[in-house]
Structure 1
Amino acid sequence: MPNLTTRAQSGISAVLSGEGRGWRSRLLFAGPAIIASVAYMDPGNYATNIQAGAGYGYRLLWVVVLANLIAMLFQALSARLGIVTGRNLAEVSRDHLPMPLVWVMWAISEVAAMATDLAEFLGGAIGLALLFGLPLVVGMAITAVITYGILIFEGRGFRPMELIIGAMVGVIGLCYLAQLLIAPVDWAAAGIGMLTPALPDSGALTIAVGIIGATVMPHAIYLHSGLTQSRAVVRNDADRRTLLRFSNTEVVLALAVAGMVNLAMVMMAASAFHQGHSNVAEIETAYHTLTPLLGAAAAGIFLTSLIASGVSSSVVGTMAGQMIMQGFLHVHVPIWLRRLVTMVPAFAVVAAGVNPTDALVMSQVVLSIALPVPMLALLYFSSRRDVMGDFRIGVGLRVLAILGGCVVLGLNVVLLADFFGMSTRFIE
């Protein structure tokens, strides 16, 4: 993977040496968490959040809050692993685990990467198709060209990519700020929904697992460690502590923004659809329903954010997939080939006549089931002194990470039990 530009690396080195001052110097450390945060605002989030808000109003907002807190913790641990070891999670796994287990982890991670790209690629294509009145296949082709064009900038270093992705995150955030100003949100009900856990029925459970899968993303956990592993020349532990401090701050800020965007998605769907249109479950239906309810401006803003989300997250997903393959297998494939391979499932889904939004939601469930693999590996390595040295996580962080992992595993077990027809009750 490419490094930062020479100018950015020189600036970071100056700050670490005590020479750089001011907020502009501090901005040089921003980037990895912003890129990773795109995974938390991808089109899979749109599908699950629309279903959550339309079907259950504000009652599943607590799931978004919980998922975002878990995401903050594990993204911080991922960045920590890269900064301390100079290796990404896939590389550390290959170095320390038996090869049969490495192959299994790679296979699961590749399935997750394909599910991720399915959601991201379809989301961008749906947005373009609806906004410009194009066939979905044409929207997919345009999305492919745009994402490949952005990926070309990767060869010039990470900083141009960080700026491009950061601009798209800004577009998504501004779009949903505008949506909240347009939609008549019940803020009291939203506050209760954020703080009161409730799963009214098995349908809510499926959406809750989808929200977890769409928020805490396997490929983002792998990618974040890779984005920080060679970001700066680290001379000693003091430099590592400085980098960790900046990294943790960025993780909190970037994922807080991503969390607010997700909350805004659910609140918009709840205010617009829950009363009288609770059956809205598809992105296309949401767009067409928004126009008479909130006006053409709201519908256009919705599609603009969806296109920015689909394009940016598809770029990030391709970067992560390439890093996963290189880390686990030490195999490098050209970026155009990686982009081509990950597009195949999306075209296959459309050719088979599968409903695109249904495919988006199910892709998030697949991601949630695959998520424990990188989560457990990250927790394992972050706790090992021979890997992290004095930077291994303490008991408090370890307990929090274990609890977060148990939440994800528990939701998955209950989902599978319900899927296979076992009796499960939920008390609201």
Structure 2
Amino acid sequence: MVNTNDGSSGIGLGTLRRFVGEMGPSWVAGSIAAGPATMASLITAGASFDYDLLWVVVLSAVAGALAQYLAMRLGLLTERGIVAVVEDHLGERWAWVLVADAVIAAGVAQLVIMNTVAAVSATMTGIDARVWGVVWALALAIGLAGRGYRFLEIFAKALVTAVVIAFVASAFVVPIDPGAAARGLVPSLPGGSALVAAGILGGAVHITLITMHSYTMRARGWTDDDYDLATLDVGASMLVAFGIYSVAIFLVAASVLSDPALTTVSAATALGPLVGESAKWLFLLGLGGAAVSTLGGNTIVPPFLLADKLGWGTTVADSRYRALLAAVALASAPGAFIGGEVLGQLVLVLAVGTVGTPFAIAIVLYLLNADAVSRPTPPLANVGGVALFLVSGALAANFLREQVAAGVGPLSGAVTLFGIALAVASVLLIGKYAREERST
């Protein structure tokens, strides 16, 4: 563990090297963010609007880093899981709402991500996707329940690094227009681009990433003494690695793909005849790595929150947590049997996450500005957090309006009711904070 509160000024080269070796928790969050749902949004954006939405891609990395920074502060300064902190400072009902919010979002994502992992594996090997679904579920159960969090962290760091390298390499293979890319950094929203822009932002600022962060830091034993390390961890994973990943995918899609109907897998396949087999295989390898790392990171989210709420341990030393972890891993196998085109399913995953995220941001902001932590939150971080809440809330409201306008069916109706319930909870939480501020 790295302790930087020794009175020294700045971070020297030796300290930086130790930091790089110690980093990890935010890379697990980054492994979820850098997943097939985000990739689908990036490919759609590039293939549909050329370079015009590059500014949104860059903004998503900044927003994702800010959300993780706020979650990091809460976890470090309380040295507890977020559910336990919510239960102590807001009550049991609020804690259950947060658990339900995160578990529903992560559960829907788990099935669809497994479908994507199985589809990519089948494309690369020719073996039936359903077989791959069972294989990957067993591998998750054995790896995570057997070796615990540290296994996932090492796996995520290695795989995310490899994925970033693969996509950067593919970006060098395709012909990118630097002038058009530079113009894409100027904010604009072409007609029909609002939904895909929301998808890009939703992949970086997501309830699963926010709620899991206190638990991954606890698994490493980090405390307030590791504040500098934790901050660097967020910047390196979300701002740098995730940012490079997103920009590289977007540039590849904007440069050579022009079919808005392309999916994650078909986009990789389409690169072969366009710019050569090397680009195709680099893209497929990157896609496969991103999907696998996301599946592993997402698996630990429901067990973390449920175990914390039930008063269990959140490491494999507690057999109940280990059993819960194995159960979630094995329960992902049916995702490979869903079949069908994954693009629409991935959009639904982002939509459910977008609906659930504003409430999680509101919870974190409330706790950081109430009596849950000893240090005041920097004003700029508060302003950024409020902006994240407003943007994610607007995206969620827009999605719900579209669902109602299109006619509510069983699935969309369930998502709409889920969103309305969380919107009411967010308003009640804001009102609670306002009343408390007036009374002090």
In the alignment, what sits opposite 2:220?
231
Residue in structure 1 matching 2:396, options 408, 412, 426: 412
Q: Is the 8 A contact 1:223 1:320 kept in 2?
A: yes
Aligned match of 2:121: 128
TM-score, normalised relative to structure 2: 0.82
Decide which moves more: 323-332 or 208-217. 323-332
Residue of 360, 368, 387 corresponding to 1:374 = 360
Corresponding residue for residue 170 of structure 1: 161
* Residue 81 of structure 1: aligned partner: 74
Q: What is the rounded CA distance, in whole Å, between the counterparts of 1:80 and 1:336 in structure 2?
A: 30
Aligned residue number for residue 3 of structure 1: none
Q: 1:267 to 1:231 in 2, by over 3 A?
A: same
Check 1:161–1:100 CA distance in 2 against 1; reply closer, same or farther (3 A cut): closer
Question: In structure 2, which of residues 227, 234, 237 is the aligned counterpart of residue 251 of structure 1?
Answer: 234
Asked whether the 8 Å contact 1:210–1:362 carries over to 2, the reply is no
In 1, distance between residues paired with 2:279 and 2:135? 24
User: How many residues are matched?
Assistant: 392
Q: TM-score, normalised by structure 1?
A: 0.85
Correspondence 1:345-364 to 2 at 5 A = 346-347=335-336, 349-350=338-339, 354-364=340-350
- Is 1:54 the counterpart of 2:38? The answer is no
Q: Give matches, 1:67-106, under 5 Å.
A: 67-106=60-99
For residue 4 of structure 1, what is the aligned residue in structure 2? none
Distance in 1 (CA, whole Å) between partners of 2:116 and 2:222 is: 38
CA distance in 2, matches of 1:161, 1:154: 8
Matched residue type, 1:292: P
Deviation per CA, 1:143-162, whole angstroms, max 9, x where unpaired? Answer: 2233334324633x62x432
Amino acid aligned to 1:336: A
Shift of 1:337: 0.9
Q: Which residue of 1 aligns with 2:130?
A: 137
8 Å contact kept, 2:35–2:291: yes
Tell me if 1:321 matches 2:321.
no
* 3-state DSSP of counterpart to 1:268: helix
Are 1:200 and 2:184 counterparts? no
Task: Tell me, yes or no, if the aligned pair for 1:383 and 1:393 is still in contact at 8 Å.
Answer: yes
Unaligned runs of 5+ in 1: 1-8, 235-239, 423-428
Other structure's SS at 1:259 match: helix
Give a deviation string over 1:21-54, Cα, whole Å, max 9, x none: 6444333431111221112211111211111111
Looking at structure 1, the residues matched to 268 and 236 of structure 2 have their Cα atoms a distance apart, in angstroms, of: 30
Q: Deviations over 1:268-308 (max 9, x none)?
A: 1111112xxx2333123213311101211111111111111
Cα distance in 2 for residues equivalent to 1:39 and 1:289: 25
CA distance in 2, matches of 1:250, 1:144: 29
2:106: which partner in 1?
113
Percentage of matched positions with identical amino acids: 24
Separation in 2 of the partners of 1:265 and 1:127?
Answer: 17
Change (3 A) 1:177 1:376: same
Q: Secondary structure at the match of 2:191?
A: coil
1:194 match: secondary structure: coil
**Equivalent of 2:200 in 211, 218, 225:** 211
Q: Secondary structure of the residue that 2:372 maps to in structure 1?
A: helix
Q: By how many angstroms is 1:401 displaced?
A: 0.8
TM-superposed CA distance for 1:66, in Å, is: 2.1
Alignment check: 8 A CA contact 2:271 2:279 kept: yes
Deviation at 1:108, TM superposition (A): 1.7
Task: Supply the distance in 1 between the matched residues of 2:205 and 2:195 (Cα, whole angstroms).
Answer: 15
Greater displacement, 170-179 / 83-92? 83-92
Write the distance in 2 (CA, Å) between the matches of 1:178 and 1:79: 32
Looking at structure 2, the residues matched to 111 and 199 of structure 1 have their Cα atoms a distance apart, in angstroms, of: 33
Output the CA distance in 2 between the equivalents of 1:65 and 1:233: 29
Please tell me whether the aligned partners of residues 132 and 336 of structure 2 are also in contact (alpha carbons under 8 angstroms): no
Residue of structure 2 in register with 1:184 after alignment:
175
Whole-angstrom distance in 2 between the partners of 1:233 and 1:282? 40
Q: For residues 60-89 of structure 1, give each alpha carbon's deviation from its aligned partner in whole angstroms, at most 9, with x where no partner exists.
A: 222222222121111011111111111121
Match of 2:256 among 272, 293, 297: 272
Deviations 1:176-202 (A, max 9, x none): 11111011112222222233231422x
Alignment CA distance shift 1:348-1:138 (3 Å): closer
Q: Secondary structure at the match of 2:136?
A: helix
CA deviations 1:332-391 (Å, max 9, x no partner) are: 4412112123444x24633xxx4222211221111111111211111111112x2111x2
Q: Is the 8 A contact 2:152 2:296 kept in 1?
A: no
Task: Give 1:167 deviation, angstroms.
Answer: 0.8
Deviates most, 324-333 or 70-79: 324-333
CA contact (8 A) 1:81 1:88 kept: no
Is the contact made by 1:122 and 1:356 (CA closer than 8 Å) also made in structure 2? yes
Q: Which runs of 5+ in 2 are unaligned?
A: 313-319, 407-440
Structure 1 vs Structure 2 CA RMSD: 2.4
Deviation string 1:115-137 (CA, Å, 9 cap, x unpaired) is 22134322221211111122221
CA deviation vs aligned residue, 1:242-282 (integer Å, no higher than 9, x gap): 421221122112112101211111111111112xxx23331
**Do structure 1's residue 220 and structure 2's residue 203 form an aligned pair?**
no
Distance 2:190 2:388 in 1: 18
Offset at 1:166? 0.8
Question: Please, which of 332, 350, 372 is the counterpart of residue 387 of structure 1?
Answer: 372
Partner Cα distance (1:116, 1:98) in 2: 28
